[in-house]
Amino acid sequence: MKSKHLLNLATLVITALLVSACGSTSSSTQSGSFACTVTSAAVVSGSTQLTLGIYASGGTSNYSITGVSANGVAGSLVSGSSTFASSSSATYSFSSLTSTVLASATGTVTVTDSSDTSQSASCSFSVGTSSSSTGLACSISPSNSYPALNTSTAFTFTGSGGTAPYTFSSFSPGSYGTISSAIASTSTTTAQAYAYYSYSTTVTPTVTVTDATGATNSCSTSVYPGSSGTGTGTTSGSLSCTAILSPSSIYRNQNAYGVAQVNTSYGGGVLASITFPVAAGLTVDFTSNLTATLRFANAGTFTITYVVQDSSGAQATCSTVETVL
């Protein structure tokens, strides 16, 4: 049996906003039983703004931030709230300071409670010594984007921008993933970890990078455990496709899920069709754009082929293999 389906390609663009920060130290001054502490003071990358983490205790909640200064310059509230119940994260602008000066500034925060006597407390902070971490970024490269289930896959993390050396932390392999080997540095800019997966699904591994100044950022990638995919026949610019079928091993009459991912810089309206082997005892239900649910009545190993065609008639093919038990 052979099925063919023509579909329009839809493209999704994701934009990420990245903010870098510098390390901080702080101290607190107590007024009776009322005290405040600056838990963090971080420069918003490349700007003259400072994000403060502020904590208050004792006295009477709620609390108000009545004054913030850095190097003797008063700051103006940009985002966050100047009132809080126990802790606050607020960003202040110091337009008369340069980002370099702000990166090594010291300052104070004045907090007032809501009691009848309006107690006040002052807490000091030190921002740090550098704001050179503008552009800090990282990437994750799996050794196999289509790993077999319960088989360890290596993930290589690479840092860029900011100030080397980099350290990596908070690695998450994604849904149903188990870390089999913790993060280990392989150079001043790279590190590696291993993980395996128990179920077939699309997962998003993530990791956090920290540079020598204390700035942080995070990155992610996509992995398809229990799936397989190949791409061939690049034509018409960068027209190509990747065939994904999950899981790659099933029992008869169970569902498998097929996805044709089309990649192109050609602006000519891409169409996609999916062809299937005649002897597979296969039924297909198309569920959405470039996706289908497949059920095999017969056991065996079957090659599923995807054919991508643009409006000029150029084609690219990709295939994947399904094992039916």
Nearest to 173 by CA among 224, 138, 246: 224
> d(Cα 264, Cα 323) in Å, to the nearest integer?
30
Q: What is the pLDDT along the chain (325 residues), one digit of tens a residue?
A: 333 332 322 221 212 222 233 344 444 444 457 888 887 788 887 688 888 888 888 888 899 999 999 999 999 999 888 999 888 888 899 988 887 788 778 899 999 999 888 888 888 888 753 333 357 788 999 998 878 778 899 999 999 887 788 899 999 998 889 999 999 999 989 999 999 988 767 788 999 888 877 778 888 888 877 665 555 555 555 667 777 777 777 888 888 777 766 665 444 455 666 666 666 678 877 766 567 788 888 888 888 777 776 666 667 777 788 888 8
CA distances from residue 59 to 64, 84, 86, 121, 253 in whole angstroms, order as listed: 12, 13, 11, 10, 67
- Model confidence, pTM: 0.42
Hey, what's the torsion of the CAs at 107, 110, 111, 116, to 10 degrees?
A: 170
Domains of the chain listed by start with CATH number: 25-126 (2.60.40), 137-220 (2.60.40), 228-324 (2.60.40.10)
CA proximity to 160, closest of 206, 205, 208, 209: 209
Closest of 184, 181, 183, 207 to residue 194, by C-alpha: 181
Q: How far apart are CA 151 and CA 144, in angstroms?
A: 10
Spatial strand order in the sheet of 255-263:
240-246, 255-263, 291-296, 282-288
SS3 274: strand
User: What does the alpha-carbon distance between residue 165 and residue 214 come to, in Å, rounded to a whole number?
Assistant: 11
CA-to-CA distance for 183 and 177, rounded, in angstroms?
15
Count of CB atoms situated within 10 Å of the CB of 255? 12
Instruction: Report the candidate in 225, 298, 223, 236 with the shortest Cα–Cα distance to residue 264.
Output: 236
Distance, CA of 185 to chain centre: 20
**Identity of residue 48:** T
Strand partners, 121: 111
